[in-house]
Amino acid sequence: MSAGEIGRAGSLAVNEPRPMLEVNGLRKQFFAGTPNARLALDGLTLLLPPGCFCVVIGSNGAGKSTLLNAIAGTFLVGPGEIKLDGEDIGREPLHKRARHIARVFQDPMTGTAPGMSVEENLLLAQLRAGKRGFRFGLSASRRAQWRERLSLLGLGLENRLADRIETLSGGQRQAVALVMAVLSAPKLLLLDEHMAALDPVTADLVLRATVRVVEEARLTTVMVTHNMRHALDIGDRLVMMDQGRVRLTLTREEKAGLSVEELVRRFREKDDRVLLAS
Amino acid sequence: MDMVTTFIGLIPVTLVQSLIYAFVALAVMIPFRILNFPDLSSEGTFPLGGCVCGALLAMGYGPVAAMAAGVAGGFVAGSAVAMIALRFRISSLLSGIIVITMLYSVNLRVMGRSNIALFTYPTIFDLVHPGLNESLPGKMAVLGATVVLVLGLLFAFMKTEKGIALRAVGANLDMAQAQGISVWWTTVLGVALAASFSAFAGTVLVQSQGFSDVNIGFGVVINGLASLIIGELLVGRQSIGRQLLAPVVGAIAYYQLISVCLALGLVPSDLKFASGLLVLIMLAAPMVFGKERIMAREKVS
């Protein structure tokens, strides 16, 4: 992201901020019309101001991944609208939304193309928002730029541009996927449990890289995680989902003093209330 | 001794033949290996190219126009295969078979009968150099140069921004979409490009052999597949360069192998069985040997 764009995002945040991401009354039913029908998103609403780093937690089946898929465009939702930077994207196909939405998947294999080099993968990501032409994409200036980005990770990946991506470890691939996601300055970054498949040491490394790139570029981010510790430690906002709805939202200040136990207790409390209400 | 002379005598003819069919092997390889969209429609686009070209030559059109029309026909047919498969979520193989079947009628319509003799019409070889059609080394040189040129262009294309996007669709569909690549257009254009190569081979074949026939496509896919497998065995597929080279090298090797079979006295009508058997063995080999190795390991432990 250029300095100018950061400045614009900053000024928006000072004035009455128009939400960068606006999800209104989103509904998604799986297996509709069958006995197995299940409401994955039940009128979900989520508003994120520009630059907001939102962490989403919730038990299995709460609809977290469905929410990310709905925003990214993996499927079209039923009622409800999705606006990105004021633009209604709810009917756009996935590859069109990808111009402005970057995503890192849980499985490092999902986010990178095997059989292709690290630099070819980076090029694919670099051109996500732009036109692809009959030019040779791997230029010296781009390589230099990628090397610089990769060196920030501290994994020595800057020396492996020409290597095939599958020769990298899972953690390294995920780190590259993260760099790929932020290369073209997306309006929205979706992180789908992107550390869940990694060992604790690598996960920690990827987590730190995540926080750095998100804060550096002030990216509007939605991160899904199962790790309560991460949910408390990072991000501007913590959203707890249950049965396809947002049950609890905590700001950075509200979650500051909270312990994992306390968070789990409040999670259960909400859960019980839901059970009693239904 | 007799057998060896027969084989050596066949080499020039076989080389010309293999340089033509190299384009079919390329047409099988691109969807199968690069786009991960297995497609057999060469069986239909190859004769389509030949029939359209033959019909136009017989109508008095020049070879360049006739070939361009044949290649365009292949492009359209290839697009149709991809569109049917993607739009209606039909297996690419089935979609290809549907199109092959329909093309048979189209080819008959285009030519008006099942074969046309083209000996009396000027061909692309005559255009390059008068009398070239009668010279095997001359044909070999022209076809060899064309193959090298096409491979060079394809190799360069695969390194461009568009080419890398094309490869990404085959390597990881989800990732390609998430990087803003339209899987629909990329697949349609990729398959259409491959089908154009197959149709191109058809246009060259009918001019080279001097007649066009609706049945020239019979079995070409298996030959193309066999060529590809042999080529990959010989040059590998670790890089995009090797992957592009494999079908061409394979085609040259495969038609020499066929030639050996003929020299050994195999009846030409048995060749299809032999080709099928060869492909079957090649495809089954890793499975059979892999299994044996696993069983041996289990015995040890």
Can you give the CATH number for the domain in which A61 is found? 3.40.50.300
* A163 is a domain residue: no
Q: What is the pLDDT of residues A165-187, one digit of tens each?
A: 999 998 899 999 999 999 988 99
What is the model's pLDDT at position B293?
56
Least Cα separation, residue A112 to chain B (angstroms): 6
**pLDDT tens digits for range A126-150:** 999 889 999 998 999 999 999 999 9
Give me the residue spans of the domains in chain B.
2-266, 269-301
Q: Measured between CB atoms, does B179 come within 8 Å of chain A?
A: yes
In this prediction, residue B279 carries a pLDDT of 85
Q: Report the pLDDT value the prediction gives residue B69, as an integer from 0 to 100.
A: 98
Q: Domain B2-266's class?
A: mainly alpha
The residues that bridge with A242 in the sheet, in sequence order, are A245
- Residue B174 in contact with partner chain A when CB distance is under 8 A: yes
Q: With contact defined as beta carbons under 8 Å apart, do A98 and A74 qualify?
A: no
The total of structural domains in chain A comes to 1
Contact state of B172 with A99 under an 8 Å Cβ cutoff: no
8 Å CB contact between A28 and A40: yes
Dihedral of CA atoms A160, A164, A167, A168 in degrees, nearest 10, equals 50
More confident residue, A31 or B39: B39
Q: Look up the domain containing A224 and give its range.
A: 3-113+128-135+169-277
pLDDT, tens only, B193-211:
999 999 999 999 999 999 9
CB A171 within 8 A of CB A194: no
Cβ B172–A112 below 8 Å, yes or no? yes
For B79-89, what is the mean pLDDT? 97
Q: Under DSSP, is residue A28 helix (H, G, I), strand (E, B) or coil?
A: strand
- For helices B92-111 and B63-87, what crossing angle results, to 10°? 150
Tokens for B147, please give them. Answer: 């193959």
pLDDT for B159 beyond 90 = yes
- Domain presence at residue A271: yes
Query: Does a structural domain hold residue A10?
Result: yes
Question: Minimal Cα–Cα distance from A99 to chain B, Å?
Answer: 6
Asked if the Cβ–Cβ distance from A112 to B174 is below 8 Å, we say: no
For chain B, the straight-line distance linking the first and the last C-alpha, in angstroms and rounded, comes to 52
List all residues of chain B from 150 to 169 with a beta carbon under 8 Å from chain A: 156-157, 159-162, 164-165, 167-168
pLDDT tops 80 at residue A278: no
CB-CB under 8 Å, B171 with A114: yes
User: Is A123 domain-assigned?
Assistant: no
Q: Do A137 and B168 touch (CB under 8 A)?
A: no
Nearest chain B Cα distance for residue A195, angstroms: 18
Q: Is the Cβ pair A110, B174 closer than 8 Å?
A: yes
DSSP code of residue A191:
E
Q: Is the pLDDT of residue A11 over 70?
A: no
The C-alpha of A117 sits at a distance from chain B's nearest C-alpha, in angstroms, of 10
Q: Is the pLDDT of residue A17 over 80?
A: no
Q: Is residue A118 part of a domain?
A: no
